[in-house]
Amino acid sequence: MTIATTNQVFIGASGEIHVVYAGQYIDPSYLPWIAPVQTSAQLLASAQAAKIELLSVAYANAITQPVSYTSKSGMAETYQADSNSQSNLMKELAVYQSAGATPTGYYWVAANNTQVPFTLADLQGLAAAMGAQEWQAFQHLQTLKASVSSGTTVTAVQAIVW
């Protein structure tokens, strides 16, 4: 047996309410079946943490959505912007920026598998398009996180969506 040191309220597995007063004996074998009641501040903090996690997932998804870019030769296409595509683009940029140009016949593959002739300026432009998408999503995430942090009720926090 354990002695409670403070007054506590618990909700049982079936929803029943249990009050334990300071100095009262508690059977430890019974404790795993009941959960402490959270205060409204604790519920709000939990809702805020859960919402921030959901928004972070939405942000991670938003920054990997395909982007549209029109090449210097005038070909408007959609390009993959997942993490592998971004990594490949950064590698190519590093190589060809130091060389000063892309090789003759160089192309980048659009989301529909079209081979689009690309210059160094096109690689830079596509990187800028991906960067702009990420920056816009990041600003949106920060705005939503601020709204979550300033939310005063669980309902208000839960109403915030990407």
Chunked into runs of 10 residues, the chain (162 residues) has average pLDDT values of 73 70 73 65 92 96 98 97 97 97 98 98 98 98 99 96 96
**33 and 80 within one domain:** no
**Does one domain contain both 28 and 85?**
no
Within a domain: 54 = no
For residues 113 and 8, give the distance between their C-alpha atoms in angstroms, rounded to a whole number.
Answer: 63
Same domain, 82 and 153: yes
pLDDT of residue 146: 99
- Domain-located, residue 44: no
Residue 92 sits in the same domain as residue 130: yes
Domain that holds residue 68: 62-158
Q: What pLDDT sits at residue 30?
A: 62
Indicate if 26 and 78 belong to the same structural domain. Answer: no
Burial bucket for residue 117 (CB in 10 Å: 0-12, 13-18, 19+): middle
Q: Do 14 and 82 belong together in one domain? A: no
Which pLDDT belongs to residue 35?
A: 56
Verify that 25 and 101 share a domain, yes or no.
Answer: no
What's the pLDDT score for residue 38? 77
Spell out the residues 6+ positions from residue 28 whose beta carbon is closer than 8 angstroms to its own: 1, 2
What spatial distance separates the first Cα and last Cα of the chain, rounded to whole Å?
49
How many domains in the chain? Answer: 2
pTM of the model: 0.73
pLDDT of res. 85: 98
Q: pLDDT at position 154, please?
A: 94
Which residues are registered as beta bridge partners of 9?
19
Q: Does residue 128 fall inside a structural domain?
A: yes
81-88: long-range contacts at Cβ-Cβ below 8 A with a sequence spacing of 24 or more? 81/130, 81/133, 86/130
* Encoded amino acid at 102, one letter: T
Q: Is residue 51 part of a domain?
A: no
Question: Do 135 and 69 fall within a single domain?
Answer: yes
Q: Considering the domain boundaries, does residue 15 fall inside one?
A: yes
- Do residue 14 and residue 84 come from a single domain? no
**Same-domain status, 94 and 16:** no
Q: Are residues 81 and 31 in the same domain?
A: no
Crossing angle between the packed helical segments 40-62 and 120-150, to the nearest 10 degrees: 170
**78 and 27 share one domain:** no
- Is 43 inside any structural domain? no
Report whether 2 contacts 17 (CB < 8 A).
Answer: no
Q: Would residue 53 count as lying in a domain? A: no
